[in-house]
Amino acid sequence: MKFALLYHYDPSTAGPVEEEVADWMAFDGQVREAGLLVDEAGFHMRDKALTVSVRDGESTVTEGAPTSGPMLAGYYLLDVADMDTALEWAARIPTAAYGSVEVRPVVEFEFEG
């Protein structure tokens, strides 16, 4: 089963530190060595984002993303046996120590054609 591990933190209260790099490298190596990694990415800060909304058929693009509260910093997409296993891996993501990691099962559609 595939699970998205979405890691968030609130930059107004805490954030990554230089010493964390070794923890990230270790986590990344472990998840790859276990053969569970489907995809992963970290995101630039929210001031680099563009936000699109459509109202009444009209598309609007604004600079940045919402600036209050936790921000989505990145994700891992893992293929693991079950939710319990996904939760175990989520707890190992360094951001969990000062932010949070949301774990969501991924809907996998099967298309005919």
Query: How many alpha carbons lie under 13 Å from residue 26 in its C-beta half-sphere?
Result: 8
Check whether domain 2-105 has CATH 2.60.40.3080, yes or no = no
Residue pLDDT, tens place only, 36-64: 999 999 999 888 999 999 999 999 999 98
Among the listed residues 43, 45, 41, the one whose alpha carbon sits nearest the alpha carbon of residue 66: 45
Name the percent of the chain lying above pLDDT 70: 99
What is residue 4's three-state secondary structure?
strand
Cα separation, 79 vs 17, in Å, equals: 29
Q: Where are the domains of the chain?
A: 2-105
Please state, in angstroms and as integers, the Cα–Cα distance from residue 69 to each residue in 52, 65, 103, following that order. Answer: 19, 11, 19
In what helix (H) or strand (E) does residue 100 lie, and over which residues does it extend? strand 100-105
Contact 50, 63 (CB under 8 A): yes
The pTM (predicted TM-score) of the whole model is 0.87
